[in-house]
Amino acid sequence: SNVLFRPTPSFGPLPRARTMAPTAFKDIGKLCSDLLSKDYKTGSNSVEVKSKVPNGITFTPKADKTGDKFSGSLAAKSAVPGGADLEVTLKTSGVMSASLEAANMMKGLSLTLDCETPAPGKPGLLSSGKGTLDYKTDALTAKGSYDYYRGDAHAAASSAFKALTFGACADYSVSKSSLSKYAAACQYVAPDFTVCAKLNEALGKPDGMVYAGSYYHKVSPKMQVGTEVSKAAKKDAVSLAFGCQYKLDKDLTVKGKVDADGMLSASYKHKLSNISTLTLATVIDTVHLAESSKHKFGLALNLTP
């Protein structure tokens, strides 16, 4: 009998896992952080209107009412010659701030200059003057800033290997000639979940080293859940928060959150039309349900004609 031998097919080497672009250090863990913090503003009511006039200037007046106190601001943003964006903000407190951002000065490099005037009655032309450099490549993101008036320097960097991003940052006080804060973090990103671990220490603070971790899960296109846990080395208590977000339809989103202190938070965000969005938020102290002063409510209306 004839025996037919067939060569074993060769599929070549297995494809390598693609390395993701590194996340900026400040954005490590941002998905879970935003889920548990955004749209929960309580204790104040605010209205914001954003409009763009034909010459390209965008005006954003904003008003906030907290208790019996009222505050507001007017911001104007426009492109300036040289490919930069300039934004000037005037607050009802009499403080004026300005920000000039020049993107792509070189490939991957951008520069931002920020300054702010002191509060009325305080001496000096400026209370803050900061320069920030951001640099991004396929393998690295780095950021450095220095505030001339406050003497504060900041540096951060992050890189990625496949689905893992890791980074560190440090704050240095030039006036005190000492390190004031440092932190390190790593993050693993999968198609439907993200796990993050951080440690940080504000030197001179009583908490000492603080360890934190978070988990974010995109259960479906409509539902996301997340949890954060943190522990200060010099304290026995562990902080824990858990929350979820559900998109009822393309215009309506509801969120809920509970933490280890017994605070129950909820928010309702509704896109009323193409130009308006309403957000309602509340925080209920479940430990002191009978005390109405412990509960808070907030309203925010955003208009973009």
15 pLDDT above the threshold of 50: no
Q: What percent of the chain has pLDDT over 70?
A: 94
Q: pTM for the whole thing?
A: 0.84
34 pLDDT above the threshold of 80: yes
Residue 72: the pLDDT is: 95
Residue 67: the pLDDT is: 84
Residue 9: the pLDDT is: 47
58 pLDDT above the threshold of 60: yes
Write out pLDDT tens, residues 208-241.
899 999 999 999 999 999 999 999 998 889 999 9
**For every residue of the chain, which 3-state class applies, written as one string?**
CCCCCCCCCCCCCCCCCCCCCCCCHHHCCHHHHHHHHCCCCCCCEEEEECEECCCCCEEEEEEEEECCEEEEEEEEEEEECCCEEEEEEEECCCCEEEEEEEEEEECCEEEEEEEECCCCCCCCCCCEEEEEEEEECCCEEEEEEEECCCCEEEEEEEEEECCEEEEEEEEEECCCCEEEEEEEEEEEECCCEEEEEEEEEECCCCCCCEEEEEEEEECCCCEEEEEEEEEECCCCCEEEEEEEEEEEECCEEEEEEEECCCEEEEEEEEECCCCEEEEEEEEEEHHHCCCHHHCEEEEEEEECC
Q: 163-170: long-range contacts (C-beta < 8 A, 24 or more apart)?
A: 163/17, 163/20, 163/188, 163/189, 163/190, 164/188, 165/20, 165/22, 165/23, 165/28, 165/189, 167/22, 167/23, 167/25, 167/28, 167/141, 168/25, 169/25, 169/26
Residue 16: the pLDDT is: 52
Q: What percent of the chain has pLDDT over 90?
A: 78
Write out pLDDT tens, residues 166-197.
999 999 999 899 999 999 999 999 999 999 99
pLDDT top residue among 255 and 121: 255
pLDDT band at 21 (very low <50, low <70, confident <90, very high): confident
- What average pLDDT does this structure show over 236-262? 95
Residue 290: the pLDDT is: 86
Residue 300: the pLDDT is: 95
The count of residues in the chain is 305
Pairing of strands 276-285, 263-271: antiparallel
Longest CA–CA span in the chain (Å) reads 106
Residue 17: the pLDDT is: 52
Residue 10: the pLDDT is: 46
CB count in 10 Å sphere of residue 17: 9
